Structure 1
């Protein structure tokens, strides 16, 4: 287990705050903050949580900070199917249902697909129809997009989408949203056949595009979507904070018509 001082310094650097700025925002003395980072002073439990709050440290990493300082974790990590999360599951299903007839899914921190609406299942079944192979492992957004047996053959702007996904994973890693598992999956998919080696050294410090459309085609049927990502507000559970709800929206009338013709419950094949 790493020492708490270097971890605090890591998060301060990740948030691009000087010691002076953090000390001012947290209302602690600069001298005390310096002593905490160097290990000359040990923080109280309240101080760890206070600094973590100012630094907007994710809940999983706040638990790590507490453990490193010799305290028990503060935040539970519940299974998504736990009885205590029943209301949240109902909310997720409502959001997914409201997105019909367009795809929507729920991902965890490792990009595994935890929930999907009927439109998402029908759409990806349409793309995959007639193919025997599937990407390895449980349903996962990164594997599905990068593996030759996933949707990659049907994404006409795949290089653009792949670069945006890699940048997103790495930016989230810098912010502490992801963890070693997501990084491991990214390393795995970047070794798949046909994936450009340049993606392994992609610079993620440049400006972001407002949206990155995803353009699919199968047997001459075309779809163009952009997506929005939603998180749960003020979660107090690690699992809930790490959930991402991704909803796909049509970019043109052709997509709307093709969804009605090929992905609706009565026409999906």
Structure 2
């Protein structure tokens, strides 16, 4: 969330606090209760009449369950330096996280698994996932993207090979909204959705999230190409208690066989 939409008289921190209160459906009274501050003091902070301490900004962000990247935005809006760093996944600070990810990917063989960032870009994949996507995308692939959402909606990429695409595509849109970091799609994620949903052959109803629409407990994705048909459902793993932006935004998607034929299949 950025402050570019601020009205001239609006205080940057107050604007961001109100944004997150509305996203969490919390009143000032409810937030004050959760943060253990007086409603009057919170009202003064939102209006810009009171300058909160650094600790107070962090307390309010925690009560609102604001993601780490956006907590830095709150601190900057209040005039403080960011508190949370964003490490390079390939750097020494993330060595243990990287080793854990590699272990998870390796242990999930012979089934596919990938690591994605906040915006659904694949950053790592195990051997089975690499072979599966290479088979489905062809050689050479139609595009250079490694973004799962773009791949699923692009008629030159995975879309023609998804047997149940009419079920999977709207469910994927719901997932993007539901699994957004902090539960609120950021501007880049909203732009990604707008991009893929701008295709003229897609139903207009898909442009609005309907998080209560799923009927089945899971919707597997069924891929079919070159005489090979596989059906997978997936599970998502995140890093627990992260204190680094990169760590918080990483997700491992592990694919599990949805039928016996897929369970027997090996991507070699």
Cα pair distance change 1:195/1:16, threshold 3 Å:
same
TM-score scaled by structure 1? 0.89
Counterpart CA distance in 1 for 2:48 and 2:128 is: 53
Which residue pairs with 1:203 in the alignment? 209
Which residue pairs with 1:140 in the alignment? 147
CA contact (8 A) 1:12 1:55 kept: yes
Which residue pairs with 1:49 in the alignment? 58
1:9 to 18, 33, 42: 18
Q: Does 1:123 align with 2:132?
A: yes
CA contact (8 A) 2:16 2:74 kept: yes
CA contact (8 A) 2:145 2:151 kept: no
Which residue pairs with 1:212 in the alignment? 219
Counterpart CA distance in 1 for 2:251 and 2:180 is: 15
Counterpart CA distance in 1 for 2:146 and 2:152 is: 11
Counterpart CA distance in 1 for 2:187 and 2:210 is: 18
Which residue pairs with 2:45 in the alignment? 36
3-state SS in 2 of match to 1:143: helix
Counterpart CA distance in 1 for 2:199 and 2:124 is: 25
Measured after TM superposition, the shift of residue 21 of structure 1 is 1.7
Measured after TM superposition, the shift of residue 177 of structure 1 is 5.5
Counterpart CA distance in 1 for 2:193 and 2:59 is: 33
Q: Does 1:58 align with 2:64?
A: no
Q: Does 1:93 align with 2:111?
A: no
3-state SS in 1 of match to 2:254: strand
Counterpart CA distance in 1 for 2:183 and 2:80 is: 20
Measured after TM superposition, the shift of residue 170 of structure 1 is 2.8
- Worse-matched range after superposition: 9-18 or 45-54: 9-18
Counterpart CA distance in 2 for 1:118 and 1:58 is: 31
Counterpart CA distance in 1 for 2:75 and 2:55 is: 10
Counterpart CA distance in 2 for 1:204 and 1:214 is: 19
Q: Deviations along 1:138-190, whole A, 9 cap, x unmatched?
A: 31101111111211111011121111111222344594564222222222222
Measured after TM superposition, the shift of residue 133 of structure 1 is 4.4
Q: Deviations along 1:204-241, whole A, 9 cap, x unmatched?
A: 34354532211111134221110001110111111110
Gap regions ≥5 residues in structure 2: 4-11
Q: Deviations along 1:4-43, whole A, 9 cap, x unmatched?
A: 0121111112112222221111110011111112222221
1:25 to 34, 51, 59: 34
Cα pair distance change 1:256/1:116, threshold 3 Å:
same
2:262 to 233, 255, 268: 255
CA contact (8 A) 1:58 1:177 kept: no
